[in-house]
Amino acid sequence: MKKLIWTILILLVLAIGGSAYYFLKVKTYDISQDKELEAITEENYEIALPTDTNSNTSGENDPVEGNTEEDKESIDSGNSDGTSQSSANQKATVASIKEKYRPAFESLQAQANSKINALVAHAIQEYRDMRASGEEISYSYFLTKYKTAGEALEAKTDQAFETIFSALQKELKENGFDPNEANDVRDAYEAAKKERRKALLSSALEKF
């Protein structure tokens, strides 16, 4: 039993990104045959991009139409505390633009972790159900099924990442910065994927 459990978990780790040549040649599984698994892998991510896509064109501090000339002059010259309106819309920096997108990337990572945990739990529960019912447990069945599910989930996650990353690069360019300034964000994402694979075994074993 322990040997099979470890095999299943190792196959899941290999399936979720960076599979060896042998595993890439294994046939795929029709995920639609398992509705619960399909829900885990096919459900779209919730992506909340910053509402203000250009730091220099917020418009929140525009004078209100209908103000008198005296009021407008007062607004132009500054607030009651001596702070000018223009200072409220400070010039964007690479760091400030990246910071705007941090919550979106963190949300994506949290959702991805949740889906991976659900995938692991589903694999373990299926194994237990088959064992309890006396069904023959096939290595190739689990390999094919969860390799396909793992790859589908990672593709969905990558797609969501690219949506956020492209928006970040676009805003950097609109503010006069090199879009490649965001490359460290991609590097961090790829590193996080590796860490998720390392944590997969520990997460699964905790469920036994």
Looking at the predicted structure, is the pLDDT value of residue 115 above 50?
Answer: yes
- Rounded Cα–Cα distance for residues 45 and 21 (Å): 29
Segment 33-66, tens digit of pLDDT: 999 999 999 899 999 999 754 444 333 334 334 4
Token digits of residue 103: 């919550």
- For range 107-113, the mean pLDDT: 92
> Which residues fall within 8 angstroms of residue 208, CB to CB, at 6 or more apart?
5, 124
**Number of Cβ atoms within 10 Å of the Cβ of 157:** 23
pLDDT at position 7: 56
Residues in the chain: 208
Average pLDDT across the chain, whole number: 75
pTM of model > 0.85? no
Segment 191-207, tens digit of pLDDT: 888 777 666 655 555 55
Q: Determine the 3-state secondary structure of 55 from DSSP.
A: coil
| Residue 139 confidence class, pLDDT cut points 50, 70, 90 | confident
DSSP letter, residue 45:
P
